[in-house]
Amino acid sequence: MTPASRRALTLGALLLSGSIVTAALAQTGTDPSPPPPAQTIPAIPPTPPAPQPTPTPEPQPTPAPQPTPEPTPAPAPEPSPVPTPAPQPVPPPPTPQVTPAPAKITAPLLITVEAQWPALVNGKKTTVPFSRTLTIPGKRVEVIRARGVITESLDQELTAFLKALPTTAQDARFEQLWDGWAVVQRNGLKVDVAKARANLLAAIKDPKGIKVTIPVTGQVAPKRTLEYFASRGITAHLGTGQTNYYGSSAARVTNIHVGTRRFQDRLLDGKTVSFNQMVGPITTGTGFVTGLVIAGERTANGVGGGICQVSTTVFRALYAAGLPILQRQNHSYQVHYYDPQGLDATIYQPSLDLKFANDTGGSLWFQSDWDDESSTLTVNVFGKARDFTVEIGAPRTLSSTPSPADRLIPDATLARGQRKQVDWAAPGAVIEVTRKFMRDGKAFKQDTLKSTYRPWPNIYLVGTR
């Protein structure tokens, strides 16, 4: 507050005080009362200065709006330092590659002979093809062509090839082809050797020559031709018998071979098939040797041991052909050579034989073969075609008996204490086999074959020498 304002305020206060005193005197009248004691007028307290108004600040000019600054992007992380690879030697400039021309391939040279042989299938005449080829490799052909002549080594091969051709006729016989049995007449072939060499030389000189034909100028027929079979009505395969002789001794195998030869390409015209008659005497004079045979209660040495392998195989062939059995005896006990059991046949000259009736109305033809590698013996029988087939059922065991205790037989040919097994245990059994005769898929007849086997022990020869 300014000094002038303060003085004006004080003066106003004093004037107000005098007015108040005058008014009081007028109210009391003319007679004044004794004056009251003088009053002390209190002093007027100083009036506090009026609050000064807060000065209003002068309005400040509003600053112009500033543009919002764009956020500063975060700095990108610094890449990890990559190690600097060690300097590599500068590779030499590539060597130009030259693509070689494809190698010339020379085709092999085929020296071939072809022919047709007469054959009989189901009674009808036809032919079967024959072909044989000598192959000269392409690389060798290239060398020979460069020389332009038949070299000495090639001429030797050609000579050996021509010499190996079937120039000698073979008698007609049954062969099993891709679609069945047929009688094949393998005639001897005649070839023109001079023409063969000329054809070979021409192929050598011709860059495109790949085949040389050996000219067949003729065929020579064998003694036994197709007519041999056709005239007898032997046109069909009737039955097959097969056995296995694995484990046989050398003597037994020899007797099997000797006996089987009696049924190799063998004709039978009679009404009865007798095994003993077809085999003939079983003696050392006829090629048989000493082997083990079943004699009574034991197996012993005897001439022809193993011949029953042949008789059993022949029996199975004729049985499968459907011929009626006239005489047949199974072995005393089950022998493993003749599995499956129940289809074996033993013989013992002169009393014990194997016989069948030939009811085919024609002759029978036997063919037999063996394979010592597989120990397999096979007999096939052929004859007149029949209007039925034969089915043989699996053997059925009707009863069985355990084998007895081992049997020991003293033998002076063995050293004392030495033991040799000559027979193996087998249970006794009664086994039955059924044979059915089929026509148009139906059985019109059947028969039953029964075999009784004794129980058999292990048998050992014990040395006493």
> At residue 22, does pLDDT exceed 50?
no
Are 400 and 451 in contact by the 8 Å Cβ rule? The answer is no
140 falls within a domain? yes
183 falls within a domain? yes
Do residues 280 and 169 both lie within one domain?
Answer: no
Do residues 341 and 368 both lie within one domain?
Answer: yes
Specify the pLDDT at position 100.
Answer: 62
Where on the phi/psi map is residue 123: left (φ > 0), alpha (ψ -120 to 50), or beta? left
Do residues 295 and 435 both lie within one domain?
Answer: yes
Specify the pLDDT at position 292.
Answer: 73
358 falls within a domain? yes
Last residue of some domain: 213, 230, 247? 230
Strands 442-453 and 396-401: unpaired
CA 10 from chain centre, in angstroms, equals: 140
pLDDT in tens, 147-158: 999 999 999 999
Q: Virtual CA dihedral for 220, 230, 235, 259, nearest 10 degrees?
A: -70
75 falls within a domain? no
> At residue 5, does pLDDT exceed 90?
no
CA–CA gap between residue 151 and residue 41 (Å, rounded)? 175
Do residues 205 and 157 both lie within one domain?
Answer: yes
Count of domains for the chain: 2
Do residues 334 and 379 both lie within one domain?
Answer: yes
Do residues 266 and 413 both lie within one domain?
Answer: yes
Do residues 214 and 168 both lie within one domain?
Answer: yes
Do residues 256 and 222 both lie within one domain?
Answer: no
Last residue of some domain: 196, 230, 264? 230
Do residues 344 and 451 both lie within one domain?
Answer: yes
Average pLDDT rounded to a whole number, residues 430-458: 97
Do residues 218 and 299 both lie within one domain?
Answer: no
Do residues 419 and 350 both lie within one domain?
Answer: yes
Residue at 176: amino acid letter: Q
5 falls within a domain? no
Last residue of some domain: 177, 211, 230? 230
Residue 249 neighbours by CB under 8 Å, 6+ apart: 291, 292
287 falls within a domain? yes
31 falls within a domain? no
More confident residue, 145 or 53: 145
Domain that holds residue 183: 109-230
- Confidence band (pLDDT; 50, 70, 90) for 23? very low
Tell me what the pLDDT averaged over the chain comes to: 84
> At residue 28, does pLDDT exceed 60?
no
> At residue 38, does pLDDT exceed 90?
no
413 falls within a domain? yes
Q: Give 101's Cβ-side CA count (13 Å radius).
A: 2
- Confidence band (pLDDT; 50, 70, 90) for 104? low
More confident residue, 75 or 165: 165
> At residue 52, does pLDDT exceed 60?
no
Stretch among 8-22, 48-62, 270-284, 345-359 having the lowest mean pLDDT: 8-22
State residue 375 phi and psi, 5-degree precision.
55, 40
Do residues 311 and 414 both lie within one domain?
Answer: yes
CA–CA gap between residue 329 and residue 331 (Å, rounded)? 7
**How far apart, in Å, are the Cα atoms of 76 and each of 70, 71, 430?**
17, 15, 103
Specify the pLDDT at position 181.
Answer: 96
> At residue 172, does pLDDT exceed 70?
yes
- Confidence band (pLDDT; 50, 70, 90) for 101? low
Specify the pLDDT at position 454.
Answer: 95
